[in-house]
Amino acid sequence: MVVLTNDTLANYFSLPNKNTTVLLLDKNPYDFISRGSDTLVVTIGDSWTWGADLTQIKNNSLHIDRLKDDTYRLENVYGGILAKNLKADFLNLGESGAGNWHIARKLEELFKISHDLTYKNIIVISIFTETARDFNSSDDVDIDYRDWLLNNITDSTSYYGFLSFINEQISTKIYNTVSKFDSRYKLYFGTNFVDPIGYNLLENYFFKKTWLEVICEHNNLTYIPAKCYLVFPWVIEKFNSIFDFVPDTDRIGWLKWINEITDLANQRAELCKNDGKNFNQLLHPTSVNHSCFTDYLMDQL
């Protein structure tokens, strides 16, 4: 039997690389709240799922990662609100700065203890972030990107297929894990401020709307652009390494695509920046935003 507590989480879930989570100041980012319930809510994702910056206005600070007000964060993050509404225990496996391979890892680790958890009902919600945060890293060293690029890039539009290919690898890993969970587990997937691409294997588990789409509809805002898969410049810059895989890649076509996705990223970022009610200055959701998204989740469960 596995008993979850804040002190035992590190026994079951691998902690992030300290070099990539400097803002956490060596803190274990994962949280557990017990209500003595026979239902468990598990959330997995990046900073949006973790609850970054929820206390920004409350404490007039720049980033909750450097604060210690975990009580406020866990009461106002969407998973915390959802668990409270369901009178359930809550396990938050969100990690600031994480990419989508993080979700694959945490689901695999959850499965390893799945049969030893005594809950009657376990709701697992995983929210993907922008494509390729962990591209060309220790997570994907076994993927043959060179072969795909050589055989599939014909013009600038082909790179959208490359984004799909990246997420297809993650989807396959996740699907192979998800299919092994027993009937107590109800699994759901969605995306946060970007649109899904390459998740066909998981489509039966997917929410119909992105988190940002839910917020836009609730506030009568125009969801722009229609499709966007990357937002932050440091993620877009990762695609410079395409030339490491295929040095003679057509630079004109590649640059055309980079300029296009950069323009789309800027539009999506501006959408969030101009909505001060739902987003703070670092483009993380406010408590109002988390509450609104929770209402949507309650309708979907």
pLDDT value for 19:
54
Class of residue 190 by CB neighbours under 10 A (exposed 0-12, middle 13-18, buried 19+): buried
Residues in the chain: 301
**Does a structural domain hold residue 273?**
yes
Helix, strand, coil in percent for the chain, rounding step 5: 50, 10, 40
Please state the separation of Cα 261 from the chain's center in Å.
Answer: 20
Q: How far is CA 201 from CA 121, 172, 197, in A?
A: 24, 7, 11
Instruction: Domain of residue 156: give its range.
Output: 9-300
Closest CA to 222 of 277, 158, 272: 272
Answer whether residue 2 is part of any domain. no
- E-only strand ranges, the chain: 31-33, 39-45, 89-94, 121-128, 185-191
What is the rounded CA–CA span in Å between residue 163 and residue 136? 13
Q: pLDDT class for 17, splitting at 50, 70, 90? A: low
At residue 25 the predicted structure's pLDDT band, cuts being 50, 70 and 90, is low
Closest to 284 in 3D by CA, of 105, 90, 129: 129
As a whole number of angstroms, the distance between CA 211 and CA 275 comes to 14
Round to whole Å and give the CA distance between 167 and 135.
Answer: 10
**284 torsion bin: left (phi>0), alpha (psi -120 to 50), beta (else):** beta
Single-letter code of the amino acid located at 268:
R
The reported pLDDT for the residue numbered 106 is 98
The number of distinct structural domains making up the chain is 1
pTM for the full predicted model: 0.94
d(CA 32, CA 12): 13
Mean predicted lDDT score pLDDT of the chain: 92
How far, in Å, are 35, 129, 141, 196, 202 from residue 153 at the CA level? 52, 24, 20, 21, 25
Residue 67 pLDDT: 52
pLDDT value, residue 24: 52
Q: What is the pLDDT of residue 223?
A: 97
Does residue 226 lie in a domain region? yes
Identify whether 29 is part of a domain. Answer: yes
Per the model's pLDDT, the better-predicted residue between 36 and 28 turns out to be 36
Residue range 181-231, pLDDT digits in tens: 999 999 999 999 999 999 999 999 999 999 999 999 999 999 999 999 999
Q: How much is the pLDDT for 285? A: 95
Q: Is the pLDDT of residue 99 over 60?
A: yes
How many Å apart are CA 297 and CA 290, to the nearest integer?
10
Share of the chain above pLDDT 70, in %: 92
- Residue 51: give its domain's CATH number: 3.40.50
Residue 4 counted as domain residue: no
Q: Under the phi-then-psi rule, with left for phi > 0, alpha for psi from -120 to 50, and beta for the rest, what region is 143?
A: beta
Residue 3, in any domain of the structure: no
pLDDT reported for residue 57: 53
Predicted confidence (pLDDT) per residue in 239-270, tens digit: 999 999 999 999 999 999 999 999 999 999 99
Is 70 exceeded by the pLDDT of residue 64?
A: no
pLDDT one-digit tens code per residue, 102-159: 999 999 999 999 999 999 999 999 999 999 999 999 999 999 999 999 999 999 999 9
Would you place residue 22 in the very low, low, confident or very high pLDDT band (cuts 50, 70, 90)? Answer: very low
